[in-house]
Structure 1
């Protein structure tokens, strides 16, 4: 048996209210951070994406070098990692601890040799250093509060500008970089500052909704852009390669394109209303395409030639994926910790939100009924149903926080909760039973319903349409039962627990087939069977995925470090006995597809 990763559905950028999110681009690729992961993706081809997971703390900013061969990424601990973007190895070139706190921004010089990193440190707010040796190339000073942004003139003589929460901009001469003067044009936080590619000018934007243009060599204020300006905090500004156009993104939910030479606003895109549509970052892709980031994490792709609406909106998870379920051989749904449910297509590489009123909190479990209807439960204590790619209007409230959901053969939906199990049909409660144990997982096949408990036992029940009748107890797990799954033919039941052990049961004989699937070292979060009932995949908090063989119980495929931070969900999309495609997802918000060959 063997495997290889076939594609990656990346997470979208993480955002924080009131904080600008820095984006970077090289040719058609955009780079950003989410949690400890750095994502590089091609917005023109959704199938092309890579994830870098080298940081031990949350990554906060990542920027391509001008050459495009390297990336520098900073994190919340003040560490900068420089790594290779060419090829799949992502070789680490260097790692430096540059400040004692969060890095808010960093910038390469035009020769891809020097880097300035800025942020929130105790001793200093910025550091300039050589990328290959880490040696200092000057001092970044003059600010009294954390620095939000930095930009370097890409031509000699070098200049560097930094923007801070202290409402000032500091102009540095270089190299080595040294303080030259303080610029006091803004009256509130300065959120972003960027040099034009030619180096002739730089622009600053801030919480006072103002935009200023400065001379790139002297730092003298050249102009203020006031024509039809923004009505709220401006979070980001970026120059086009023509050195004449500037794009700004604001918390007033608009993106504006400016003609800097004529000091005029050319185009305004309004991208909705409310907090989720506040614009917190932007970048140019080529000469005509603008990407602006919404507070919700959506990437809005705008064409400067179109004044109407975004060409498209790139969606994705911004927090951990907590549950998955296949709905076709090339389509699956994924629930997230933010309450969203997304639909993914393995054929096109696209992701889209399930439309309608969904969950408002973490999605704990998904299950598909025999008729194709999908049911979901979440920490908002709601049971919802999904038909196609939309939530239906039907919903039901659970009496306590749901942990797991399963659908019986007659369409009855069972929900395992803190101290009880409820059954719903047509979104009406038809049965409820209190338990003397704490339910932790549930699964169903036909009229059989199994309930796993924190007492390490599994209760096998028969559902007659009105009542659950307990028929047997299955034992063998060494911890709380955290995941259950019937084989498609109903003859086998697999149970994973909090210790990482997996036990395979014969349902008819009510006995253990094997208890030797015990290679995981932490809680089992998800189990999924192939269509032929011969192989089972398991995902664990230990970040690994294992694929087990029923016919040869000692034979397995181990996918080590399949999901950084832990695997929350696994699901087979397609399998034919010789090969299959497996989806795995978890803490990093990404979904990875694996092509698995069972017989070599």
Structure 2
């Protein structure tokens, strides 16, 4: 194969304030899963850099759970559809598809034999359904609620019992199969967010927005006590998860803590403090073998440490919103990927291990549109917050002084030797030297879309919506219009000089990629066709003989400069969205990113 997937650095869960996030656990204890947009993300619990993404839902996925057998995953979305799919094959073949309720699915539970499913949520005619997984035929009903159901669980041994927790402050208890409503539990004073049976089936616990946790007998539904007396947490509780031996449980709360409870004693053994910011509210948790996980409102996944409750063993970071651009920087033989997202966050990733963190401090307040690195070891970024930032790559923190405020919103940024940067803004082209504006072109007679500086620093090329590239010579601190232009067939969407400065590659709205030879007065070297929708971004390989382009057609092409017929086509790189950013780690490793908030690496063989 000319291309092979090498790494997937997955997105974080998509979080919403005040809404619980269900994390699913693999019965074998190897993986955990969660949802972001239309994706279900499966990650290895020991090494979260090993990930897999399922993308077959047409609507936003809200919850996913493993079958107790481990062979299937069921996932539910906002339209009320559930899909049951295979976990053993890479293709994740669909086994069954049903629409049990006509609205957002909030939670799903299996019986221990992997044969029956309970699905609950915000349906129009009913809030829940219980059915056989292979035929969809009903095995009872979930009744007793007047508002939508947030959570459901089934006792994992016979006789089966089902408990459902609702926004009507009640918990319903049913016996089965077929499941029939038995009675309502009314101890809670606010929305009940979560209900979970202990693995041994002896008890179940319920948690609510009022900060209370109640324990009940798993077989009879009788009240068996509460945790922490009147209140278990000072904020609302969004999730609970039992220990494998059923003696303890953890609870995740909006008070920014997770607590570990001794259920028998009803007291908290440990309180994990996870920060002081609003984004540190805890909206989900999972106890998987020896791992205690929680999810913050920021989307960060925390591995809790019983021995040091104030500092997680590790925190998985990344992006939860769409990634708009990326670049690669090498130092001391080590490659790092930098990615900028829709919400202004910039992350850096170890290209080999996927270890990542975000640049610290106060950075961009809006979408990061474009990023490059310069020879001074700085990340140069432009954003919809109308600024350019220069961030020291070694320090990995934003500097309040290295921000340049632009008059208009910047669309593109480029850097070259001699401390030069070029920003193309709406209606303006700005030349910067040593992080200061030195020259501005106003009153342009064309709409500038993208600008690049030749690596040698003597020429700036600015591409317009009219399909014309204006060439300016950089003389001292000015841009001089020498009247030189290059024409392509349509609005220019991106362009880049090769690393050695020999070529300029341009993509345009008419689906063409054109390479110009700089030494031959920008004569056309070759033209490339293959995209069947507008190409959006391009990147040169370090070998200067190949470059990659991606388009709205979801395709990525790797082109050979010398031969327009030699091309490598990578379909479905990110199955739900077009590729928004491309970069190369080396001549055989291409990095792609997209609005699915994940980053992928591909091994390219010519």
| TM-score bin, normalised by smaller chain | over 0.9
| Bigger mean CA deviation after superposition, 42-51 or 277-286 | 42-51
Equivalence map 1:490-509=2 (5 Å): 490-508=501-519, 509=521
SS of equivalent to 1:390 = coil
Q: Show the counterpart of 2:212.
A: 210
Take 1:477 and 1:387, find their aligned partners in 2: how far apart are those partners? 39
Pairing partner for 2:386 from 377, 381, 390: 381
Q: 1:305 to 1:371 in 2, by over 3 A?
A: closer
Q: Show the counterpart of 1:336.
A: 341
Deviation at 1:499, TM superposition (A): 4.2
| Bigger mean CA deviation after superposition, 160-169 or 517-526 | 517-526
Deviation at 1:336, TM superposition (A): 1.0
Equivalence map 1:16-31=2 (5 Å): 16-26=16-26, 27-31=29-33
> Do 2:10 and 2:49's aligned partners in 1 also have CA atoms closer than 8 Å?
no
SS of equivalent to 1:339 = coil
Take 1:269 and 1:176, find their aligned partners in 2: how far apart are those partners? 41
Q: Show the counterpart of 1:561.
A: 572
Instruction: Spell out, residue by residue over 1:486-543, the C-alpha distance to the aligned partner (whole angstroms, 9 max, x if none).
Output: 111212111122343322222332232333x222222322211111211001122222
SS of equivalent to 1:588 = coil
> Do 2:242 and 2:250's aligned partners in 1 also have CA atoms closer than 8 Å?
yes
Instruction: Spell out, residue by residue over 1:246-284, the C-alpha distance to the aligned partner (whole angstroms, 9 max, x if none).
Output: 100111101100101001011001111121100000001
Deviation at 1:349, TM superposition (A): 2.1
SS of equivalent to 1:55 = coil
Take 1:174 and 1:448, find their aligned partners in 2: how far apart are those partners? 77
Take 2:236 and 2:48, find their aligned partners in 1: how far apart are those partners? 32
Take 1:424 and 1:120, find their aligned partners in 2: how far apart are those partners? 54
Q: Show the counterpart of 1:196.
A: 198
| Bigger mean CA deviation after superposition, 261-270 or 498-507 | 498-507
Instruction: Spell out, residue by residue over 1:526-565, the C-alpha distance to the aligned partner (whole angstroms, 9 max, x if none).
Output: 2111112110011222221110011111111111010121
Q: Show the counterpart of 2:300.
A: 298
> Do 2:438 and 2:478's aligned partners in 1 also have CA atoms closer than 8 Å?
no
SS of equivalent to 1:555 = strand
Q: Show the counterpart of 1:143.
A: 145
| Bigger mean CA deviation after superposition, 425-434 or 93-102 | 425-434
TM superposition score normalised by structure 2: 0.95
> Do 1:147 and 1:165's aligned partners in 2 also have CA atoms closer than 8 Å?
yes
Deviation at 1:572, TM superposition (A): 0.6
Q: Show the counterpart of 1:597.
A: 605
| Bigger mean CA deviation after superposition, 327-336 or 193-202 | 327-336
Q: Show the counterpart of 2:405.
A: 397
Equivalence map 1:346-425=2 (5 Å): 346-388=351-393, 389-393=396-400, 394-425=402-433
Q: Show the counterpart of 2:523.
A: 511
Deviation at 1:302, TM superposition (A): 0.6
Instruction: Spell out, residue by residue over 1:87-126, the C-alpha distance to the aligned partner (whole angstroms, 9 max, x if none).
Output: 3121111111221111111111111111111111111111
> Do 1:289 and 1:304's aligned partners in 2 also have CA atoms closer than 8 Å?
no
Take 1:496 and 1:306, find their aligned partners in 2: how far apart are those partners? 53
Take 1:33 and 1:9, find their aligned partners in 2: how far apart are those partners? 15
| Bigger mean CA deviation after superposition, 448-457 or 542-551 | 448-457
Q: Show the counterpart of 2:6.
A: 6
SS of equivalent to 2:232 = coil
Take 1:225 and 1:458, find their aligned partners in 2: how far apart are those partners? 69
Take 2:399 and 2:536, find their aligned partners in 1: how far apart are those partners? 28
Pairing partner for 1:111 from 110, 113, 117: 113
2:272 aligned with 1:260, yes or no? Answer: no
Take 2:464 and 2:131, find their aligned partners in 1: how far apart are those partners? 56
Pairing partner for 1:65 from 64, 67, 82: 67
Q: Show the counterpart of 2:125.
A: 123
Q: Show the counterpart of 2:235.
A: 232
Equivalence map 1:566-585=2 (5 Å): 566-575=578-587, 580-585=588-593
> Do 2:203 and 2:215's aligned partners in 1 also have CA atoms closer than 8 Å?
yes
Take 1:436 and 1:144, find their aligned partners in 2: how far apart are those partners? 64
Take 1:477 and 1:138, find their aligned partners in 2: how far apart are those partners? 64
Take 2:247 and 2:408, find their aligned partners in 1: how far apart are those partners? 58
Take 1:505 and 1:101, find their aligned partners in 2: how far apart are those partners? 54
Q: Show the counterpart of 1:476.
A: 488
Take 2:39 and 2:511, find their aligned partners in 1: how far apart are those partners? 25
Q: Show the counterpart of 1:134.
A: 136
Take 1:461 and 1:75, find their aligned partners in 2: how far apart are those partners? 52
Take 1:186 and 1:117, find their aligned partners in 2: how far apart are those partners? 22
Take 2:53 and 2:406, find their aligned partners in 1: how far apart are those partners? 38
Take 1:527 and 1:513, find their aligned partners in 2: how far apart are those partners? 17
2:280 aligned with 1:281, yes or no? Answer: no
> Do 1:408 and 1:448's aligned partners in 2 also have CA atoms closer than 8 Å?
no
| Bigger mean CA deviation after superposition, 88-97 or 32-41 | 88-97
Task: Tell me how many residue pairs correspond in the alignment.
Answer: 591
Take 1:145 and 1:518, find their aligned partners in 2: how far apart are those partners? 56
Take 1:46 and 1:146, find their aligned partners in 2: how far apart are those partners? 34
> Do 1:244 and 1:259's aligned partners in 2 also have CA atoms closer than 8 Å?
yes
2:531 aligned with 1:520, yes or no? Answer: yes
Take 2:183 and 2:510, find their aligned partners in 1: how far apart are those partners? 60
Instruction: Spell out, residue by residue over 1:390-418, the C-alpha distance to the aligned partner (whole angstroms, 9 max, x if none).
Output: 32332111112211111132222211111
> Do 1:477 and 1:503's aligned partners in 2 also have CA atoms closer than 8 Å?
no
SS of equivalent to 1:553 = strand
Q: Show the counterpart of 1:433.
A: 441
Take 1:298 and 1:130, find their aligned partners in 2: how far apart are those partners? 35
Deviation at 1:481, TM superposition (A): 1.3
2:107 aligned with 1:95, yes or no? Answer: no
> Do 1:377 and 1:383's aligned partners in 2 also have CA atoms closer than 8 Å?
yes
Instruction: Spell out, residue by residue over 1:327-385, the C-alpha distance to the aligned partner (whole angstroms, 9 max, x if none).
Output: 01631111111211111112222121122221121110001112332101111122111
SS of equivalent to 1:81 = strand
Take 1:244 and 1:439, find their aligned partners in 2: how far apart are those partners? 65
> Do 1:59 and 1:73's aligned partners in 2 also have CA atoms closer than 8 Å?
yes
> Do 2:244 and 2:288's aligned partners in 1 also have CA atoms closer than 8 Å?
no
2:95 aligned with 1:83, yes or no? Answer: no
Take 2:247 and 2:256, find their aligned partners in 1: how far apart are those partners? 24
SS of equivalent to 1:276 = helix
Take 1:312 and 1:65, find their aligned partners in 2: how far apart are those partners? 28
Q: Show the counterpart of 2:312.
A: 310
Deviation at 1:72, TM superposition (A): 0.6
Give 5+ residue unaligned stretches, structure 1: none
